[in-house]
């Protein structure tokens, strides 16, 4: 931590919510943030219980975001929140982010950025007009060995990139639990709350972002198939896509939430003319490098030979596992540094959000047409 703890407000993430608790733990890990205010639920009782369970002043627990913003703006400048974490279903991301940004409040938002590329561009316009900062929770980019993989590709270790393969497999939606009262499943399969894509928006965007981030080249075109395997499900639960990258590389993306028995199987393989790297989220402290002309290497978190940008993300010595919360905390730590005007390290933001929204729309357009390929707009 450098300087005082920044003050954090939260929209959504109340009692019983999964991702709100993850955000709070990640934000608190390094002492950079202190949760001081929130609008946790539209249900008054649940909202009040959520604030009380977090030890917040009841005067800073509000029934909706507009009330929170108005109350914060009425406080002396040094007492107001420095940022708002938006941890709601997708349909609330854009209106909440725009309202906060227009009030000059920095925003850390769950992904995907919005319901459409038009909404994403509106968020970007609000951020640029106000000068407030905007970050997105593409958590996996915060893993130290993801940064190590990116750094090794960027310095040319693999040579020219030719092949990028990414998959993200889960099994939790294999049965129709969205019609049986599971709240997390209900909103993620509801087009009015989740947006255009189901599995595509929820985890396909993570896979897409990871692939582009590490490979250092952008997807230019997609050829895709979307399926809802569970009868009556209104959004896709399974995605397959062929990828063409700028510069000539080719790739594949597979995302599924009906791969029964799978947990959180995010895996990436990037191949260049000289070698291949492999990383898997469920074994995040290991990066495997396979070479054309010499034995394979295994790089470990905390071990020797890591890039400086990787070392900045590590908290524990070699052999002490770092995981999901630490990766998430790296994003909050980087966001705090950006707000303080310190040396900025990578935090996913506007460009990443626009890119992923354009990817979602390109995949859906291709899957719903007879076209062989659809272009992915640059998103800047």
pLDDT in tens, 67-105: 999 999 999 999 999 999 999 999 999 999 999 999 999
39 backbone dihedrals φ, ψ, rounded to 5° = -130, 90
The dihedral region occupied by 261, where left means phi > 0, alpha psi between -120 and 50, and beta the remainder, is left
Name the H helices within the chain: 18-28, 44-53, 65-74, 93-102, 117-130, 144-154, 183-188, 191-194, 199, 205-215, 308-311, 324-339, 350-367
The answer to pTM > 0.75 is yes
Taking the CA atoms of residue 335, residue 337, residue 343 and residue 344 in that order, the dihedral angle to the nearest 10 degrees is: 0
Q: Residues for the chain: how many in total?
A: 380
CATH architecture of 160-273+350-367: 2-Layer Sandwich (3.30)
Considering only the C-alpha atoms of the chain, give the largest distance between any 2 of them, rounded to a whole number of Å. 65
Question: Among positive and negative, which fits the CA dihedral 300, 208, 9, 347?
Answer: positive
CATH number for the segment(s) 6-136: 3.40.50.720
pLDDT of 345 reads 87
144-156, pLDDT tens digit by residue? 999 999 999 999 9
Q: Over its length of 380 residues, how does the chain's per-residue pLDDT go in tens digits? A: 566 899 999 999 999 888 999 999 999 999 999 999 999 999 999 999 999 999 999 999 999 999 999 999 999 999 999 999 999 999 999 999 999 999 999 999 999 999 999 999 999 999 999 999 999 999 999 999 999 999 999 999 999 999 999 999 999 999 999 999 999 999 999 999 999 999 999 999 999 999 999 999 999 999 999 999 999 999 999 999 999 999 999 999 999 999 999 999 999 999 999 999 999 999 999 999 999 999 999 999 999 999 999 999 999 999 998 899 999 999 999 999 999 999 778 999 999 999 999 999 999 999 999 999 999 988 66
Q: How far apart are CA 145 and CA 313, in angstroms?
A: 9
Task: Provide DSSP, 56-89.
Answer: --GGGB-SSHHHHHHHHHHS-GGGS-SEEEEES-
Determine the pLDDT at residue 343.
78
**H-helix or E-strand containing 280?**
strand 275-280
> Domains of the chain: which residue ranges?
6-136, 160-273+350-367
Query: Does the fold of domain 160-273+350-367 match that of domain 6-136?
Result: no
For the record, the structure tokens of 114 come out as 């919005």
Q: What is the pLDDT of residue 311?
A: 96
Neighbours of 232 (CB within 10 A): 9
Pairing status of strand 219-227 against strand 83-87? unpaired
Q: Judge whether 138 and 371 are in contact, CB under 8 Å.
A: no
Closest by CA position to 335, among listed 345, 327, 326: 345
Q: Which of 62, 111, 107 is nearest to 88 (CA)?
A: 111
């Amino acid at each position: 931590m450098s300087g005082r703890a920044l003050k954090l407000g939260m929209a959504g993430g109340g009692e019983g919510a999964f991702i709100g608790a993850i955000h709070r733990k990640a934000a608190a890990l390094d002492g950079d943030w202190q949760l001081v205010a929130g609008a946790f639920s539209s249900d008054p009782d649940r909202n009040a219980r959520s604030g009380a369970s977090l030890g917040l002043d009841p005067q800073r627990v509000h029934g909706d975001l507009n009330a929170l913003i108005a109350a914060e703006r009425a406080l002396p400048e040094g007492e107001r929140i420095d940022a708002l974490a938006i941890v709601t279903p997708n349909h609330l991301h854009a209106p909440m982010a725009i309202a906060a940004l227009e009030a000059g409040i920095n925003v850390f938002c769950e992904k995907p950025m919005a319901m459409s590329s038009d909404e994403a561009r509106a968020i970007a316009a609000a951020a640029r007009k106000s000068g407030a900062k905007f970050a997105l929770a593409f958590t996996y980019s915060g893993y130290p060995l993801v940064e190590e993989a990116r750094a090794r590709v960027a310095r040319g270790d693999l040579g020219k990139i030719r092949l990028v393969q990414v998959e993200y497999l889960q099994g939790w939606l294999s049965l129709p639990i969205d019609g049986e009262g599971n709240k997390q499943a209900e909103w993620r399969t509801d087009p009015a709350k989740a947006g255009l894509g189901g599995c595509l928006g929820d985890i396909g965007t993570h896979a897409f972002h990871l692939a582009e981030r590490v490979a250092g080249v952008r997807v230019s075109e997609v050829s895709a198939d979307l399926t809802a395997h569970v009868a009556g499900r209104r959004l896709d639960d399974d995605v397959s896509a062929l990828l063409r990258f700028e510069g000539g590389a080719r790739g594949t993306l597979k995302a599924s939430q009906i791969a029964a028995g799978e947990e959180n199987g995010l895996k990436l393989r990037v191949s260049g003319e000289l070698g291949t790297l492999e990383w898997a989220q469920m074994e995040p402290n290991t990066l495997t490098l396979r070479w054309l002309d010499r034995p394979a290497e295994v790089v470990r978190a905390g071990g020797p030979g890591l890039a400086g940008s990787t070392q900045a993300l590590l908290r524990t010595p070699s052999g002490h596992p770092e995981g999901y919360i630490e990766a998430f905390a790296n994003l909050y730590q980087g966001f705090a540094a950006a707000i303080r005007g310190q040396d900025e390290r990578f935090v996913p933001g506007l460009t990443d959000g626009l890119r992923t929204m354009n990817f979602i729309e390109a995949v859906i357009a291709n899957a719903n047409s007879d076209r062989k390929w659809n272009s992915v707009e640059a998103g800047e």
